[in-house]
Amino acid sequence: MFAGTALCIAVMMTSAFGPNRPEMPGLSELLQVTVEPHVVNITKDKNNLLQNRLTLRIQNIGDSPLYHGKTLWTTNAAKATVSFDFCHNSSCLTCDDRECLMAANGWNIKYQIHVPMYTPWYISDAGVGYQHPQWTVSPSKTNIDILGPQGAKESSVAFDFFNIITLLPPGETNMYVRFHGFPYDETRTYEDANFKIPFVKK
């Protein structure tokens, strides 16, 4: 009797966690995250401010949609947080404090969805309570794939950050994109993934 019970439990565990259950890859393996262009132009004359635009692109490079479930996912947690380096030296995009020229202040960076967009996502600022500016991008709950498979027009999404003005010295700086809470299927969630994308000011 006990041997039969043990065999039954073993079969159930094999069915739930064994070879029939697909292994879940990481978002760092499935996503290509880029910023274009790779150069931000520095303002050298305060009477002639140079505005820059950066486009963040998130691309699924896997052979399947990002979401593998059969029913619409329902979590509110799926989002990616976007930020830059803010300070007063060459390693930062621009400054964001009271000593910063108002027009070049990081809090004045604007954002929008890059068009055309073939899969519904949103972008917003992260709200109050943060020391430095940051933004949130997230898929619509009506978007069952989240991102389509590689090669499909729904496989990528992009966002524009503009009104970027910097008076800081030349140097390399970074964009950071942190993914959290993305569902793999009805019961599993991808591990969080962090991307650091370098670009230069000159």
Q: What is the pLDDT of residue 5?
A: 45
Q: What is the pLDDT of residue 70?
A: 93
Q: What is the pLDDT of residue 23?
A: 84
Q: What is the pLDDT of residue 17?
A: 44
How far is the C-alpha of 98 from the C-alpha of 103, rounded, in Å? 12
Low-confidence ranges of the chain (pLDDT < 70): 1-22
**Contacts made by residues 44-53, CB under 8 angstroms, sequence distance 24+:** 44/167, 46/101, 46/167, 49/103, 49/104, 49/165, 50/165, 51/162, 51/163, 51/164, 51/165, 52/162, 52/164, 52/165, 52/166, 53/160, 53/161, 53/162, 53/164
Q: What is the pLDDT of residue 129?
A: 81
Q: What is the pLDDT of residue 171?
A: 98
